[in-house]
Structure formats: structure tokens, C-alpha cells
Amino acid sequence: MRFEQLDVWKRASRLSCEIYKATESVQNWGFKDQITRSGLSVPSNIAEGEERETIKEKVRFLYYAKGSLGELVTQLYIGIEIGYLNRQSSMDMIKEAKELAKIIGSLIKNKESQIKEENADYKVD
């Protein structure tokens, strides 16, 4: 399957776009750079993993995407607290990020079970 067909990639891409729009007026370049990078990292890692050859590599990049979601949620909370980001729209983005993390977690479990199946050594007499 091509990564462009994955709903999780589509949703993560939309979330990344929302983050760019939400931080458009943020003057603190360091904060803006960090939060946009973590948001951009999610769909990028999903795509990169899907383009890899082995299931192990695909899983590794899904873990990176999931980690970036944790980073993003943290930055959204901080952005709200310091007054850089709108509370309601940021809470909506946090909700979406957490849902994406659950979906990615399920994908990881599914793919890891395929790895275990590939490694199974059955003897048939």
C-alpha cells in the first residue's frame, strides 16, 4: 500500500498543516520551529517507514512517528500555558494527536505480530 492511501498519514498531514496555521503569528522562533518540526515529523516518518523494505524498519519509523506525537502534545500544552496558542483549537489538536497515537500503536502491534509470524519455526513430520 502506498502511504498516501493510509488514513493515518492523511490525518497526520492535516494535523501538521493545522499546526503551521496555528503558529503563524507566534513570534518566538524557537518554539515555532520546534512545534512545527514535531508535527511535520509524524506524517514524514509514517511515509518513510512505508517506503522501507522490511517490516522491522516500518515498525521503527512508526515508533518515531508515535514519539513525535508525544513531543507535539507536550508542546501544545506548553503553548497554551504560555499564551502562544489558542486553548480550544490546541485542545482539538491534542485530541487528534492522541487518537493518532492510538492508531499508530495498533499498527505497530499488527506489524510486530507479522514479524513474529515470519520468525516462527515450525517442524512438520
Displacement of CA 45 from its chain's centroid (Å): 7
The model's pTM: 0.88
Confidence of residue 119 (pLDDT cuts 50, 70, 90): low
Q: How many helices (H) and strands (E) would you count in the chain?
A: 4, 0
Which of 39, 4, 15 lies closest to 95 in space, CA to CA? 15
User: Residue 122 has which C-alpha cell?
Assistant: 515450525
CB atoms within 10 A of CB 4: 10
For 6, 33, 34, 112, the CA distances from 72, given in Å and listed in that order, are 21, 12, 9, 25
Using one digit for the tens of pLDDT, what is the confidence trace for 37-94? 999 999 999 999 999 999 999 999 999 999 999 999 999 999 999 999 999 999 999 9
* Length, in residues, of the chain: 125
Evaluate if residue 120 carries a pLDDT over 60: no
CA 59 – CA 30 distance, rounded (Å):
30
Residues 6+ apart with CB under 8 A from 105: 66
CA 51 – CA 61 distance, rounded (Å):
10
pLDDT at 114: 84
pLDDT at 102: 98
pLDDT at 1: 64
CA 100 – CA 95 distance, rounded (Å):
9
Using one digit for the tens of pLDDT, what is the confidence trace for 29-53? 999 999 999 999 999 999 999 999 9
DSSP E strand stretches across 65-110 = none
Matching residue, cell 487518537: 99
